[in-house]
Amino acid sequence: MEKDPFKEYLRESEPDKAHKGYAWSTAIGLQAVDGLKPSKYLIDTAIQNIEGKITMKEAQSLIDSYYEERPVHLSDDERTEEADKVSSRIAEILSETAFSFSPNEYISIHRKLFQGIYKHAGKIRDYNITKKEWVLDGATVMYGSASELRATLEYDFSQEKDFSYKGLSMDEIIHHLAVFISRLWQIHIFGEGNTRTTAVFFIKYLRTLGFSATNDIFAKNAWYFRNALVRANYTNLQKGIHETTEYLEAFLRNLLLNEKNELHNRNLHISGLLNEEKVDIENEKVDIQDTKVDIESVLSQKGSDFSVKTTVHIHRLFEKFGFDEVFGRSAVMELLQLKGSGASKLLSNLVQADIIEPVSGHGKGKYKFKM
């Protein structure tokens, strides 16, 4: 999208409008991974939903009726219809809280997104595939073998389900998440629609780990996300190219930690062009990392044994307020999207763990991080 039509809603003070705005923005942005662009009708319908004039189901019904009354003759129109319908379905799934971490859930998301669009919606492919990639200069990733797709999928899920994030630093968490999602995508169990399905599933999974993932990174950088997945699964020793999750990790750091790493598709191309710019980006990342050492050392010194979810919350609070700024319960509720009781419990736990301390002179119930 050249201009995000939902930008004003992403800044809304009303959580419901902001949540819907993020869902629609992400849904529409993800169409770019397959070169699709939704219609103005879809965007207008989405805005009606965000403003509370129509429900999500009514929005989908309007989109369906729009195309039933408008016979499609051109391939471009068919692709726009796909973009509109899939966008509305992604927005619906992202608005729901229900989720199960399982291969069946992953397959079910594909079926929900592409029912009536692809004949193979929700079906595992029974043929091998290759895809020429721009970022690989025309080469292809080695996707999963058709005869092993279900077994490979179930293995990856079982490995992730048994994995413990306990005691990991945020760098280690993000690296592991990058490895997991890149392997899941590399299986490519569907004939089409793998990236969009994987992205939607991943966002839902991140929420179960305590990440809100409610920003416009996917909307603005969907194509980068796909190219980063490609680079994480391509090796050519003859050309000195090795699979790497560094680009995917930069994307995830922006998504989950609100960092500002530059995400340029040209930097992912295997030709190695614009190396100087990549070096600058790496230097930028080092500076960002240096600012994070303080909170890591604090957590280490306190010897606190927090859950992954609480650790994520601590990092997000520190990202926002650092050691100097003062914050209270309402700020915690807004930033972490917690209810009042949840925010109070978190603050109480952090005070007891000697991570934050009450401060006077700023009103009742104010805190700051302890050095």
For residue range 171-227, what is the model confidence (pLDDT) as tens digits? 999 999 999 999 999 999 999 999 999 999 999 999 999 997 766 788 889 999 999
pLDDT at 293: 41
Mean pLDDT over 110-121 rounds to 95
Which run of H or of E encompasses 84? helix 75-95
- pLDDT band, residue 76 (cuts 50/70/90): very low
| Residue 279 confidence (pLDDT) | 38
Residue 199: Cβ-neighbour burial (10 angstroms; 0-12, 13-18, 19+): buried
Average pLDDT, the chain: 85
Q: Examine the pLDDT at 106 and tell me if it is beyond 70.
A: yes
Q: How far apart are CA 123 and CA 367, in angstroms?
A: 52
pLDDT tens readout for residues 38-72: 899 999 999 999 999 999 999 999 999 998 887 65
Contact 99, 207 (CB under 8 A): yes
pLDDT at 79 over 60: yes
Structure tokens that stand for 170 in this block: 């945020």
Task: Give phi and psi for 344, each to the nearest 5.
Answer: -65, -40
Q: Which 8-state DSSP code applies to residue 133? A: -
